[in-house]
Structure 1
Amino acid sequence: MTRARLPLLLALTAALALALTGRYAVMQLPPGLWPALPLDADGMSVDQILLAFGTLPRGVIALLAGAALGLSGALLQIVLRNPVADPTTLGISSGAQLALVLATILAPDLLALGRWPIALSGAGLATALVLAVGARRAFAPVTMVITGMLVGMTASAIATAVTLSQGQYLLSLVIWNGGSLVQQDWSGVATLALLLAVGALAAALLARPLRVLSLGIAGAAGLGVNVAAVRLAAVCVAVVLAAGVSAELGLIGFVGLAAPALARTLGARTIPQRLALSPLIGALILSLCDGLVLTLAGAGGEMFPTGALTGLIGGPLLIWLLPRLRGSTPPGTEAAEGPAPRLSRPLPLLGALVAALVVLALVLVWIGRVPGGWAILDAQSFADFLPMRLPRLIAAAAAGAALALAGAVLQRLTANPLASPEVLGVSGGASLGFAAVIYLVTGPGAALLYGGTIAGGVVALLLVALYVLRRDMPTERILLAGIAVSAFASAVLSAIMAAGDAKSWVILAWLSGSSAAVTLPGALGLGAVALALWLAALGGRRWLALLPLGTGVAGALGLPLRLARLLLIVLAGIATGAATILVGPLSFVGLMAPHMARRLGLARPEHHLSGAALIGALLMLTADFGARMAGFPYELPLGLFASLIGAPWLLWLLMRSK
């Protein structure tokens, strides 16, 4: 797309957003009856009050919030040097969500002060934890990205677990999570306007240092730039912007990712251009989405929040624009991050992981909780419980191994620390297929649920595979395609949750993960699939060794790039889909396990794959045991324990590595 078309495209988008919002305002009240300035509620009718203090501030706050998220995403992508970074990368939204959930349960009196201080405190604490780890490595991009993902996953898992346990009291929070722009006065507009003005001024002051920083830390330091200080300042500005929007409106996703990506697509190549154009595009995206919501509300009432619609529009839009995307922002490797350790003799470590897996499985079969407390099963009790426990153990271990294999393959394929099974969109597609069966079929059976889950995952995988078949498609664009598919699926699920239907809780429980309904044939089948995928991945170890070196080097060494990418992505997709069908979308194991294996010194592809699979199996076995025993006799979400077990371990590895 040429630069000459940029003003026309932005003007058309702005006109469409204005027309949609204006149409709703006209439907609400004819222009001749609109209230005059200054707005005085005492002299207005009810319709005039609704327009002056509801519709009009809503239209303005959509522009402000979209601009703030766009600017936040642009700053994060620049400072972290990663095209798939966005305001959710540092756990900002998840921290705000967790703080509000805990305040509602443990200290409801705090809500009298409003949601802003609570949400901002949660977001700030989550980001402070990320910054504390990042400070040990001069805020190196890869460290920041990995730590932020782990903190966000853990906070989200805890919030989901509490929501499930107290769902009847937290329905409003489920709706809030969708990101609603409903306004009752102009206070939110004033707050976000001030926030955006301060953020824009800070971004303008940081533009030149960030431009110098883009030359690399050695060159920037040589020119007198304090690398750590610039990174910290840019991250803090992005955090305040995103946290302010989350506190005021709820969780609005995808805008912070889509706006900078679209800015680059439309020709913004320099850092000042991206910082200037991303807020404008973000404002137009959110305003357009809210205009569509208002139009639909005028026809049949507002059924879902605006935040849910951002992915419905932005996901397909980003997929359409990906082939036209220009430029690249590689994650890179910096001296502050340091090389991962490399074991000269990895086989003893792999043997120890195998032994730990066997011992853990035997221990978890023999011990458990009874109404009187903990107990070691006798022979008769063991025989009685084995048919119930064995399928769960096999399914948990196989799912963990499959997800870890998928994550290891994707991280090597893309050389990107954010690559995980959920990035492919398979988990989101499978979740959407499951939800579709729940809503469209009365009393669906297990076979129908499995079929819908498989169909959703396959469709998502096919969409991403279409981009792999393009000859010159960079790996970062493959990640963006998967994220776009995931955003679309998440948007639909958020809309379903916000509707407040009783079926929403069935979907929410499934999303949190569980192996309770797994049968022995299903568990053995998943185990066979995991074994076959491990062997297939080992067969592609030469590809996985060459691809991280770059397409130029890999192609020069005779690697069939298109075929290798396609087969490896299909392999990761099958692994993710098979695990998701039986235990739910717990693909974050695929993010943690490969990093743990790499930090333990398993560097060669065959050792890395095997170690990741074993660590993934260990994580899921331990998580399944915790889910069954911690809340005995009730079962807690499997995803909560997988996060609580894996995330602290990986954070510890990141902090101790030099």
Structure 2
Amino acid sequence: MTRYGLLLLALCSAVILHLHISSIEMSFAAKWQVISSFQAQTFADFQFLYAALPRLVLATLIGAALALAGSLFQQLSQNSLVSPLTLGASSGAWLGLICSAVWFPTLAASYSVWFALVGALLATGTAIYIAGRSGTKNLHLILAGMAIHILLGAVATVIVLLNEQPTQNLFIWGAGDLSQTDWQWVEWLWPKLVLCLVVFIFSQRPLLLLRLGHDNARARGLHLKSFISSIALIALWLVASSITAVGVIAFIGLIAPNIARLIGAKKPRDELASSLLLGVILLISSDCIALYMSQLSEGFVPTGTMTALLGAPLLIYFAKRQLTRHPVTQNQSHFAVTAPLLRYGILLSVLMVLLLALIFFHQPNSQQFWLFALPDSLTFSLRWPKVLAVISVGAGIAVAGVILQRLVRNPLASPDILGITGGAKLAVVFSTLLVTDTIINSTLVAALVGSLAVLLLLICLGRANQYAANVIILIGIALSALIEGVIHFALAKGTSDVYQTIHWLAGSSYYVNDKQAMLLFSIVATLLVITMFTTRWLTLIASSDEIAAGRGVNLAKVRLTLLLLVALLCASTTALMGPIAFVGLLAPHIASLIGAHKAIQQIHFAILIGMLLMLFSEWFANNALYPQQIPVGTLVSIIGGSYFILLLFKQSHKTR
């Protein structure tokens, strides 16, 4: 039997299974009668005709659209790890929808898809511009896309937390929900997918020419910029339309094209068609599992969460295949300049003192914002644990970033992508949902257990590759996408405990007490002292594997040791304050920028910069919207992500 015959057989089986699970009480003869007459007589008929059947049709349309978009992105970039998820398009579209619901509710009803398209377009364009033309075929583009993803997710979190009422209806939607009560969304969506026909008719020859390289394609008469821009815009339109209809569905656009190539799809149109069929099969099958799990638990299980659970392991598998064929280009460039370090050290120390004074002596009230006074004993007792905690977190994550960037030899590497903080997030969400405990009681234990579980996973999966950081980072990306689905699932529940969880996930110092702050400080200080004894390893391994091995370094053991240090630093800081993004990426980068090139110098300056960034974010988060508070981790993500993206823009402009 041909490949298409097998795909059609699998599709028919998935459709039959979906029809059975969605309406178990009805026989297939009764279902066929309702389909043929398109009329309902009983309540079961109505449920099948206006809930089960449109859900199946919508899953077919969404699966086809996302898979086709993913295949187009991968063929344009010649990178099998590119997708709406890893380009940041999904998070951009989702942020656009949130903004429209909060600030433009009258326009959102009719033009929400355009808000989603603008968000997806800006996110994808930024990621591609950061990576540059030479970076689209390797992990550089994926890292840039995930940085955009984290930044936009932080912005969306702030908007949700500050506008709980307008965004409540978006919670289930954001989890990727295919539930339907009529044919409204099917009728809305299918005309917007007509562009798929245009792609099939006109894209075969241009996509084939792209495989010869840009120069050869241009020499054969292909208007490269026009074609790539048009096809990318069509792919983003498919993504924006799908997310507007059902919310975020991860991994379909990444997995379907990879499976299509794995089963023998070689020509561009063949890959598009196979990917389309596989996308439909994957989404209908995931929805079958979501329906079955919902019936077993008598609760709501979003389809988007289920696709994330199924897709994360497949991402790891295809990522390892991609790295085997196309090794990641690693670059130790830190955008470095020569500068007198002593002057910068004094400046950073002075800023530290000023920030500490600002935090303790600034006493705003409802009548006067810029009011300074000596803190009373109560105010001091409330503030010093938070200050100690944010200082410890800033130092710990900054050093974790130094270790990871030298291990990967890439200034884009960050502990946020490693997956350790992702394991903590996942464990805390599950503990609050399943154990029904409050976030205050479950955070520390759950976060540590989750972090250690991810560490064991990294050790098992990384052993065959000598703990190569490229594989580890891609595992972290897979976990991040999986966690996003679980977080949206938590939002959909909408209880008070869940809102506490979301505040913790945003990175908050609100629940920190003196004992916890002292414990965190002790752990981080101990780990930092241990790190000082690894500076020789960090210096050698940052140069090259050959140089390190020639100097007697056992690469596998050193990588495992350094990975363990990063894991412990991330686990301890995340357990207390929640995930803090971009500090581990930004602090080492700025330290190198001011001239701290040696490992010991970079560690020292990264600690100062990490603490400064956390202290400023702590003060600004507590006072910017006084008396409302912004979670400090979210603010750090926005500040750090924005600044780092601006630096990358500047560097990209210089190198072109």
The verdict on a shared fold, with TM-score over 0.5 as the criterion, is yes
Q: Is the 8 A contact 1:294 1:302 kept in 2?
A: no
- Return the match for 1:362 from 352, 357, 360: 357
Q: Which residue of the partner structure matches residue 478 of structure 1? A: 472
Q: Which residue of the partner structure matches residue 164 of structure 1? A: 161
Shift of 1:427: 1.8
Alignment of 1:564-603 (within 5 A): 564-600=558-594, 602-603=596-597
Shift of 1:36: 6.5
CA distance in 2, matches of 1:190, 1:365: 58
Alignment of 1:102-117 (within 5 A): 102-113=99-110, 115-117=112-114
CA distance in 2, matches of 1:181, 1:508: 24
Alignment pair present for 1:207 and 2:207: yes
TM value normalised by structure 1: 0.84
* Shift in alpha-carbon separation, 1:358–1:98, aligned structure 2, 3 A: same
Shift of 1:656: 2.9
Q: Deviations over 1:169-208 (max 9, x none)?
A: 4222111110112343232552464244445557645533
Alignment pair present for 1:255 and 2:252: yes
- Return the match for 1:309 from 288, 299, 306: 306
Q: Deviations over 1:547-575 (max 9, x none)?
A: 45665665566432221221222111111
Return 5+ residue gaps in structure 2 as ranges: none
Moved more, 273-282 or 458-467: 273-282
Alignment pair present for 1:175 and 2:172: yes
Q: Which residue of the partner structure matches residue 401 of structure 1? A: 395
What code does the residue aligned with 1:370 have? N
* Shift in alpha-carbon separation, 1:101–1:245, aligned structure 2, 3 A: same
Q: Which residue of the partner structure matches residue 21 of structure 1? A: 18
SS in 1 for 2:169: helix
CA distance in 1, matches of 2:439, 2:335: 47
CA distance in 2, matches of 1:257, 1:68: 12
What code does the residue aligned with 1:110 have? L
What code does the residue aligned with 1:640 have? T
Q: Which residue of the partner structure matches residue 560 of structure 1? A: 554
Q: Deviations over 1:296-346 (max 9, x none)?
A: 445565612200111222234555777777733445379xx9972343655
* Shift in alpha-carbon separation, 1:202–1:398, aligned structure 2, 3 A: farther
Q: Is the 8 A contact 1:464 1:482 kept in 2?
A: no
Q: Is the 8 A contact 2:92 2:119 kept in 1?
A: yes
What code does the residue aligned with 2:400 have? A
SS in 1 for 2:325: coil
- Return the match for 2:510 from 504, 510, 516: 516
Alignment of 1:14-93 (within 5 A): 14=11, 17-24=14-21, 27=24, 29-34=26-31, 47-48=44-45, 50-76=47-73, 85-93=82-90
Q: Which residue of the partner structure matches residue 412 of structure 1? A: 406
Shift of 1:593: 3.4
Q: Is the 8 A contact 1:623 1:641 kept in 2?
A: yes
Q: Is the 8 A contact 1:210 1:271 kept in 2?
A: no
Q: Which residue of the partner structure matches residue 187 of structure 2? A: 187
* Shift in alpha-carbon separation, 1:198–1:529, aligned structure 2, 3 A: farther
What code does the residue aligned with 2:281 have? L
CA distance in 1, matches of 2:453, 2:373: 48
Q: Is the 8 A contact 1:89 1:149 kept in 2?
A: yes
Q: Is the 8 A contact 1:468 1:565 kept in 2?
A: no
Shift of 1:628: 0.7
* Shift in alpha-carbon separation, 1:193–1:35, aligned structure 2, 3 A: farther
SS in 2 for 1:180: coil
Aligned residues: 647
Shift of 1:126: 4.0
Moved more, 543-552 or 469-478: 543-552
* Shift in alpha-carbon separation, 1:415–1:243, aligned structure 2, 3 A: farther
TM value normalised by structure 2: 0.84
CA distance in 1, matches of 2:222, 2:532: 45
SS in 2 for 1:581: helix
SS in 2 for 1:87: coil
SS in 2 for 1:372: coil
Q: Deviations over 1:118-154 (max 9, x none)?
A: 32333334445556x559x558548865654454434
* Shift in alpha-carbon separation, 1:500–1:154, aligned structure 2, 3 A: same
Return 5+ residue gaps in structure 1 as ranges: none
Shift of 1:383: 5.2
Q: Which residue of the partner structure matches residue 369 of structure 2? A: 374
Q: Which residue of the partner structure matches residue 457 of structure 1? A: 451
What code does the residue aligned with 1:358 have? V
Shift of 1:464: 1.5
Q: Is the 8 A contact 2:421 2:579 kept in 1?
A: yes
Shift of 1:222: 9.0
What code does the residue aligned with 1:590 have? G
CA distance in 2, matches of 1:565, 1:278: 37
Alignment pair present for 1:624 and 2:618: yes
Shift of 1:361: 2.4
* Shift in alpha-carbon separation, 1:154–1:479, aligned structure 2, 3 A: closer
Q: Is the 8 A contact 2:451 2:571 kept in 1?
A: yes
Q: Which residue of the partner structure matches residue 635 of structure 1? A: 629
Alignment of 1:235-250 (within 5 A): 235-250=232-247
Q: Deviations over 1:478-505 (max 9, x none)?
A: 2232333444444333333323344221
What code does the residue aligned with 2:557 have? L
SS in 1 for 2:338: coil
SS in 2 for 1:341: coil
CA distance in 1, matches of 2:436, 2:323: 47
Q: Is the 8 A contact 2:144 2:412 kept in 1?
A: no
CA distance in 2, matches of 1:338, 1:410: 14
Moved more, 154-163 or 274-283: 274-283
Q: Identity over the aligned pairs, expressed in percent?
A: 30
Shift of 1:231: 6.2
CA distance in 2, matches of 1:625, 1:373: 16
What code does the residue aligned with 1:246 have? I
Shift of 1:397: 2.2
Q: Which residue of the partner structure matches residue 153 of structure 1? A: 150
Q: Which residue of the partner structure matches residue 122 of structure 1? A: 119
Moved more, 313-322 or 450-459: 313-322
CA distance in 2, matches of 1:311, 1:390: 40
- Return the match for 1:435 from 417, 420, 429: 429
SS in 2 for 1:624: helix
CA distance in 2, matches of 1:242, 1:279: 14
CA distance in 2, matches of 1:159, 1:365: 30
What code does the residue aligned with 1:356 have? L
* Shift in alpha-carbon separation, 1:79–1:43, aligned structure 2, 3 A: closer
Alignment pair present for 1:540 and 2:537: no
Q: Is the 8 A contact 1:341 1:599 kept in 2?
A: yes
Q: Which residue of the partner structure matches residue 335 of structure 2? A: 340
Q: Which residue of the partner structure matches residue 294 of structure 1? A: 291
Q: Which residue of the partner structure matches residue 526 of structure 1? A: 520
* Shift in alpha-carbon separation, 1:7–1:109, aligned structure 2, 3 A: closer
Q: Which residue of the partner structure matches residue 494 of structure 2? A: 500
What code does the residue aligned with 1:211 have? R
Q: Is the 8 A contact 1:429 1:456 kept in 2?
A: yes
* Shift in alpha-carbon separation, 1:270–1:400, aligned structure 2, 3 A: farther
CA distance in 2, matches of 1:477, 1:22: 39
**Considering only aligned residues, what root-mean-square deviation do their CA atoms show, in Å?**
4.1
Shift of 1:580: 0.8
What code does the residue aligned with 1:212 have? L
Shift of 1:516: 1.9
Shift of 1:620: 1.6
CA distance in 2, matches of 1:644, 1:270: 42
What code does the residue aligned with 1:366 have? F
Q: Is the 8 A contact 2:348 2:609 kept in 1?
A: yes
* Shift in alpha-carbon separation, 1:541–1:265, aligned structure 2, 3 A: farther
